[in-house]
A and B are shown apart, each in its own frame.
Chain A
Amino acid sequence: MKQFAILTKKETLQFIRELKIVWLPLAFIFLGITQPVVTYYLPYILEAFGGGQGIIIDSSMKDIAGNEILASTLESQFDQLGVIIIVISMMGVVQSDKANGMLGFILTRPVKVESYISSKIFSNYMFVAGSVALGYVVSYIYTNFLFTSIPFTSLIVALLFYLLWVLFVVSFTTMVSTFFNSQGVIALISIAVLLGIRMIVGLNPLLDRLNPASMSEYAKEALVFADIDMSVVWSVLITLLLSAIVMNFAKMWIANKKYNID
C-alpha cells in the first residue's frame, strides 16, 4: 500500500511538471462549453454568415431542454473528441516508461508490478475523471444559463455512469500502452476499439449488457428520461469486471517480463 501511495504521488507530480494538469482540464472545459453555446447561437451564427443557404433553422431550437443539451455534450463532444483526447493524453502511460528504461528502473526497485500498474491507472483515472467532471460541470452551467435547468439527481447519476465508461477507457488504454511499443499504434488501436464499441451501443440488447460503452448511453438516458432500468446494475458490474480484467492483463504482461524493448 505504501508503494502504491509513493508511486501515485510520483505520477501526480509528473502531471503537474508536464503541465498536463493545465491542458487536459482546459480541453474538456472547451468541449463542455461548445455544445450549449453552438446550439444556442447557431441561428445567429448562420445569419451572420449570410443566411442559411437553404438550411432551415427550427426556431424552437432555443426551446430545447437543458438535459437534452447536456446529453448531447456527452454524446457528441465527450464520446468522440473527448475519448480521442483521453487516449492521446494517455498513450505513453506505460509505453514511455518502457522506451526510456523507467519501467525497468522502477521494477528493479522493491516495487510490485501490481503497485506500478494500479498507481498508474488510479492516478490517471483520478486526473482524467476530474477533467471530464470539470468539463461536464462547465457544460451544465452554460446549459443552465442558456437553456433550462437540469434536475440535480439526473446530473449526478449521469456523471457517475459516464465516469464508469471513462474508467474503462483509461484501463483499456493503459493495457494497450503496455502491450505495444509505438505510440501511434497504441493510439490507433485504442481509438478504433473504444469508438467502435461506442458506435455499436443500441444494436443488440444482450451486447449492450456486456458493452462498457453502454455506460455512456445510460448517462444520456439518465439525463433525458430521468429514469433508468434497474437491470443496468448488471452492466455496471460487467463494466467494472472488464476494467479489472484489462488491468490484470497489463499486470501479467509486465510480470512475465514482456516489456523489454530491444
Chain B
Amino acid sequence: MIHLLNISNLKKSYSEKQVLKGVNLNVKKGEILGFVGANGAGKTTTLNIITGMLDYESGVVEINGLNQTAGLDYKKQYFFIPDTVNVFKNVSGLDWIHFLMNLYEIEENNKLEEYVQVFQMQESIDKPIGTYSYGMLHKMSLIAAFTINPPIIIMDEPLNGLDPNAVVVFKDLIKSYVDQGGNCNLFNTSFGYRGKNLYYGCHFKRRQNYST
C-alpha cells in the first residue's frame, strides 16, 4: 500500500547544525497528524521540505508515491496553509479562493458554497480580504483547502492567534472534514492540547527527532 505521505530518514542541516536527523513518518488517508514540539525542534523545517520550500540533504519525501521531481504533479498533492496568510488584501475572499482553485485546475462546484456556509462566512466572503480578522483569514484558507480537496492539507501553526472557542471550532471542522471522507491533514503546532484527541502525535524534540 502506498502511504499518502511517506518520509524516510529525512536529514537537513543549517550550516553545521543538523536540524533533522533522520525523520521517519507515514500517513494514511483519513489520518490527522500533528507535529508537536518546542521552538527550533524542526517542525516548520519538515513542513517546508514537504512543500518544496526547502531542500534537504538526504532521505525520501513522497506524497502519493510522487516526489518533488514530479514538479506540478507533486504540488497538486497538497494544499499548504502557512502560519501567516499573506494574500492580496484588495481582492475579496471569494476572488482569492477562485484564484487558488484555478491554479489547482478545480472547476466551479457546490462545495465552495457549502463550506462558506459551514464556516459562516456568507457575509464576508465577498468583502476585501484586508477587512478580515486573523480567524477569518484562516477560515478562508480552510474553505479553499476543503473545496480544492487535495490528498493532503498541510497547516503551519493553525492554532496561532485563535481564541479558545475558535480553537474548538477549528478542531471540530477538521475532524468533521476528515470523517466525511476528506483527505488527510498534517499540521504543525508548538503545543499539544489536553482533552479530546484530534490527531496522532508526531513529536519533535530538539537535537533528537523521532516520530511516534
Residue positions of A touching B, CB distance < 8 A? 2-3, 6, 10, 13-14, 17-18, 100-102, 104-105, 107-112, 257, 260
Contact = CB atoms under 8 A, between A and B. Distances in A.
B104 A109 contact: yes
Given A105-B82, A108-B80, A109-B104, A257 B75 contact: no
Interface in B86-103: 86-88, 90-91, 95, 99-100, 102-103
A110 B72 contact: yes
Q: Which 9 pairs from chain A and chain B are nearest by CB? A: A17-B90, A101-B86, A110-B75, A108-B80, A108-B51, A100-B86, A110-B72, A109-B103, A6-B102
A104 B72 contact: no
Given A6-B103, A101-B86, 8 more contacts: A2-B102, A14-B90, A107-B53, A108-B53, A108-B82, A109-B104, A112-B72, A257-B55
A213 to B, nearest CB: 34
Interface in B33-77: 51-55, 71-72, 75-76
B72 A101 contact: no
A221 to B, nearest CB: 43
Interface residue range, chain B: 20 to 34
Nearest to A13: B91
A108 B52 CA distance: 7
A257 B90 contact: no
Contact of B53 (A13, A18, A257): A257
Contacts, number: 59
B105 interface: yes
A88 B87 CA distance: 22
B84 interface: yes
Contact of B86 (A102, A112, A257): A102
A77 B177 CA distance: 60
A54 B187 CA distance: 77
A101 B84 contact: yes
Contacts of B87: 102, 105
A2 B102 CA distance: 9
A101 B81 CA distance: 12
A78 B177 CA distance: 57
Contacts of A18: 90
Contacts of B99: 6, 10
A17 B72 CA distance: 30
B69 to A, nearest CB: 13
A241 to B, nearest CB: 27
Contact of A10 (B51, B86, B88): B88
